[in-house]
Structure 1
Amino acid sequence: MNPTVVPRRALPAPRGALSAAVVEVLRRPAGSAVPTVSGADPYSEDPLLTLHTCYELHYQGFAEVDENWEWDPDLLRLRRDLERQLLAALSADVPGGDDVDAEVDRLLEPTSDTDGIAGFLAERGTADQLREYFVHRSIYHHIEADPYAWVIPRLRGQAKAALVAVEFDEFGGGRGDRVHARLFADLLSGAGLRPDYLHYLDAVPAPMLALVDMMSLFGLHRGLRAALVGHFAATEITSSPAARRLADIARTLLPHPACVHFYTEHVVADAVHEQVMRREVIAELLHAEPETAAGLVFGIQATTLLEDRFTEHVLECWRADRSSLRQEIALTDPRTAAGPGRR
């Protein structure tokens, strides 16, 4: 398959009444009657998958779905109602404030090597658990830098120029084979997994869906531009040390060059990106628009909240010796060249 061609995936399997209704209506011509939103927990599977399905119309779309659904007014109203519920939940679950320096300092605090998913994998993880982690992250890394591109026309001056510089690296510095989304597809192949765009969407549960939906939510609204910058900064500030640990874990559990390379690529690049995001993007945005401080803090705190919820879900499942995915999938493939690893 030509790696530059991204075939559209089929519509996802529904996870409740609302997502079932939206999937069904998307099979019809644009303008068909759209369902209304119920009061379900905004962190639950059904509303999060519905949001993800609406957002995907702005990315690659789905096979056999009318392109005109992307800007259908009734579907946008449904999406707006879901967004309001998710935003209300996030706002209620983070402390808020406007002390950007304090939030950034917390991100820079070192973590223990035994903490979190990386700590579990390093201490007693298996190759299949590392593959499982890759499956979760696939729906994020397939669009890794795309939502941040929406904020570019909403910034000015040095903040815009600096963010574009980071994005240039994320998109491979002008080389398609080095786009980070492509590098993650190579990682999936190296791990013996399917590299296809959103191939594992149906297997990925709510905690990762929430994180990816948040990125799109922030990116698609000018009024949330500071939250998106805060999220982007939080990701870049914490990425380099995490990537170093995951590179070491991959060398042990799945030592295929593509698995290791994806993380080693991020060790140096994201250490630079951290400085750029802190000293040029955030600092310049605050200088030009001091009123964005609360939005920056919200973006950082919401990212931490959802990453922590994801980590708690995965570790709870692994400590109980069960899969953290929604459904059983093949996590081994005879085509892989990654070596046996620890099973």
Structure 2
Amino acid sequence: MQLPTARGRISAALIDVLSGRAAKLPAFARFDGEEDLHLTLFVCYELAYRGWDGVDDRWEWDPGMLRLRTAAENRFLGSLYDLVGEPPAGADPAAVPAALAEIVEADDGPGLSGYLRGRATYDQFREFVTHRSVYHLREADPHSWALPRIGGRAKAALVEIQTDEYGGGVERRMHQELFKSTMSWFDLDLAYGAYVDSVGAPTLAVNNLMSLFGMHRRRRGMILGHLAAYEMTSSLPNRSYANGLRRLGGDADATAFYDEHVEADAVHEQIAAHDLCGSFAAAEPALAGDVLFGARCALAVDSLWAGSILDTWNAGASSLRDHTVEPVLAG
């Protein structure tokens, strides 16, 4: 993946160092807004995933890089505390599955799935797929960070969920691969990370949230709660996405990714709430509040992202930042 275009002073300084145009990372992280912050975080985090073209892998653990990443993470965490509050102290471990269900039931985010099912144009749906490609082309990877950090029944439950995400060991059934069929139907670039420059801070924040939780052992409860929220709220929206694609003429290959999630996540919902998060909270009761915090953050950040897209569409504008994804007229 090519290094993206900077969006402020800090991301510019970071990209200049990684590309060899500068020698030192910035000493102070004074971000030029959310775009600068979240691009900086995304660039830092990607060093621990598949990396950047031409960038030395040793940057992943460079002390200066970690200092910059920590400063950006602290800024992001502060915004999460403002959004959903801090992790609740003294949460009842036995009540975690029921509390997760209450969090999901109370979620009243923007109706993006309904819009895509019944109203979205071909170009709007194509934009939606473009946004989601940043995550879906590495789907399940951020949550897999938790595997070596937990044990017992919770670990077995996470393996069960992740096995489905990775297609049961069959490459073409991996969810990352299934999504490429959807992208192909829209004539989009299938390269990993091809559209990072095209999406705004809300999309990057959705992805950064998973890395913020998943890449830190001390936040292992949060990444499990995040996964549970995703699994518990996935089945119905994915049915809407599939039906919206069929409305636009999408064939079986185009809808396979969404159809797969309708079936798989209906099963994963109970595994995630009870076997994964319930068992984890019982084994590590001090982290029960972190599980609930992770779930709340997942839904809240996704809600902000969905709202940002709907706002631009309702205003008659594109939700993408640039023109790397040219409009395509249907039919």
- 1:38 matched to 2:8: no
- The answer to whether structure 1 residue 130 and structure 2 residue 125 are counterparts is yes
Q: For residue 330 of structure 1, report the CA deviation from its aligned partner.
A: 3.3
Question: In the TM superposition, what is the alpha-carbon distance from 1:109 to its structure 2 partner?
Answer: 6.1
- 1:51-83 C-alpha deviation (Å, 9 max, x unpaired): 100111111111111121111111111101111
Shift of 1:285: 0.7
Which residue in 1 is equivalent to 2:59?
69
State whether residues 234 and 300 of structure 1, in contact with CA within 8 Å, keep that contact through their aligned partners in structure 2.
yes
Between the aligned partners of 2:105 and 2:249, the Cα distance in structure 1 is 29
Q: Which amino acid aligns with 1:92?
A: D
Deviations 1:220-275 (A, max 9, x none): 10110000000000001101111111111010124132221110000111111111
**1:318–1:324 Cα contact (<8 Å) kept:** yes
Q: Residue 331 of structure 1: CA displacement?
A: 4.3
Gaps of 5+ in 1: 1-8
> Where do residues 272-287 of structure 1 align in structure 2 (5 Å cutoff)?
272-287=267-282
**1:159-198 to 2 correspondences below 5 Å:** 159-198=154-193
Percent identity reads 41
Among 28, 44, 47, which residue is 1:54 paired with? 44
Specify the alignment match of 1:305 in structure 2: 300
2:78 equivalent to 1:81 = no
User: Post-superposition shift, 1:332?
Assistant: 5.2
Cα pair distance change 1:254/1:20, threshold 3 Å: farther
2:8 corresponds to 1:25: no
CA distance in 2, matches of 1:29, 1:275: 50
On the 8 A contact 1:193/1:331 being kept in 2, the answer is no
Q: Aligned letter for 1:34?
A: L
* Displacement of 1:85: 1.2
Contact 1:192/1:332, CA 8 A, preserved across alignment: no
The answer to whether the aligner puts 1:200 opposite 2:195 as a matched pair is yes
Cα pair distance change 1:313/1:157, threshold 3 Å: same
Instruction: Classify 1:324/1:29 alpha carbon distance in 2 versus 1 (closer, same or farther; 3 Å).
Output: closer
Contact residue 16 and residue 46 of structure 1 kept, 8 A:
yes
TM-score by length of 1: 0.89
TM-score, length-normalised on structure 2? Answer: 0.92
Say if 2:9 and 2:31, in contact at 8 Å, map to a contact too.
no
Instruction: Give the root-mean-square deviation of aligned CA atoms.
Output: 2.0
Could you list the per-position Cα deviations for residues 27-52 of structure 1 after superposition, in whole angstroms to 9, with x for gaps in the alignment? 1299x42113434377x100100110
Q: Which runs of 5+ in 2 are unaligned?
A: none
Partners of 1:301 and 1:190 in 2: CA distance: 33
For 1:78, what is the secondary structure of its paired residue?
helix
Counterparts of 2:120 and 2:53 in 1: how far apart (Å)?
37
2:3 equivalent to 1:11: yes
Q: 2:104 aligns with which of 104, 107, 127?
A: 107
Query: Could you say which residue in structure 2 is the equivalent of 1:264?
Result: 259
Amino acid at match of 1:65: V
SS of structure 2 residue aligned to 1:287? helix
- Structure 2 distance, partners of 1:261, 1:71, is 38
CA shift at 1:111, angstroms?
A: 7.0
